[in-house]
Amino acid sequence: MSAQATIDPKRDFVIERFIDAPKRLVWEALTKPEHLKEWYMPKAWGTVSKCEMDLRPGGKFSIDIRTADGREVPNLGCFLEVVPAERLSWTSMLFPGYRPAIFDDVPITAIMTMETVGSGTRYVFTALHRDEADFELNKASGWRQGTEIALEQFVAHVLSMK
| pTM for this model (two decimals) | 0.92
Q: Which CATH code fits 17-160?
A: 3.30.530.20
pLDDT of 104 above 80: no
- What's the chain's average pLDDT? 93
CA distance 14 to 10: 11
Distance of CA 84 to the CA centre of its chain: 15
Domain ranges of the chain: 17-160
- Picking from 2, 10, 16, the residue whose alpha carbon sits closest to that of residue 126 is 16
Reported as a single tens digit per residue, the pLDDT across 122-153 is: 999 999 999 999 999 989 999 889 999 999 99
